[in-house]
Amino acid sequence: MKNPTAFVGFMLILMGIMFTAGGTGIGYLGITERNEFKINGISATAIIYDIEYYISGTGENRSQSANVHIVFYTENNEEIQTLLNEYNSSMRIGQEIEITYHKDNPHNVNVGNSFVILMIISVVFSLVGIALLAGAVITIKNQINKTKMQKTVRSTGRLIKANIVGIVEDRTTRINRVHPRILEAEFNGMRFLSGYITNNDIMNLDKHETIDVYIDRNNADNYYVDLESIKR
């Protein structure tokens, strides 16, 4: 892949949209449930009568969680046994906890922190999504500016024949878990790095000792390494 910037920008946009949409959805769910329980919620005291512990994940990602079984009585004195929607390590069998149950579905139970947790998750997801989208905008903008500069340099810059030094890896970037390769050239002590090269470009290097480089007449830091020149 000669220029992965478009791919990177696309992936950042896609992930940004996914995280932002996920955060918005979780936030909407939290607000909807909170409002629903404000209207139809009834407070009660429940007792934890059983805790089923289990291990999730593997290796370093292993963590302990639990299914917390509670029992309580509705305002109509109906006994309800159900699972709690959250767990923390301080919970123990026989412990009394304050809950809110939905009057039309007593098995739908909420404890005080669940809405807050949903909103925290919503904010985190949304912030990550916004950061990814901002990264995509910056990446694409930088590439557009770079492309404009290279086009200008190629049209108005000075053409030199730089000596091909070799091939190096761009250690700052990974494409499919592999560092892309770039061509390094040199001219009168000045060092030039090309865009990403393909296997075909590498095969063509055996036929050339130099490569065309266009340099800005006013700023040597602006240059364009013409990979097409080694194909001719």
Give 26-81 pLDDT, tens digit per residue.
888 888 888 888 889 999 999 999 999 888 777 777 777 889 999 999 999 999 99
* Contact assessment for residue 16 and residue 136, using Cβ atoms and an 8 Å cutoff: yes
Q: Taking the model in full, what pTM does it have?
A: 0.59
DSSP, res 180: P
What does the alpha-carbon distance between residue 35 and residue 113 come to, in Å, rounded to a whole number?
A: 15
Distance from chain centroid for Cα 77? 49
What does the alpha-carbon distance between residue 105 and residue 84 come to, in Å, rounded to a whole number?
A: 14
Query: What is the pLDDT, as a whole number, of residue 3?
Result: 54
Q: pLDDT tier at 1 (50, 70, 90 boundaries)?
A: very low
* Contact assessment for residue 68 and residue 109, using Cβ atoms and an 8 Å cutoff: no
Encode pLDDT of 71-117 as tens digits. Answer: 999 999 999 999 987 888 888 999 999 999 999 999 999 886 667 77
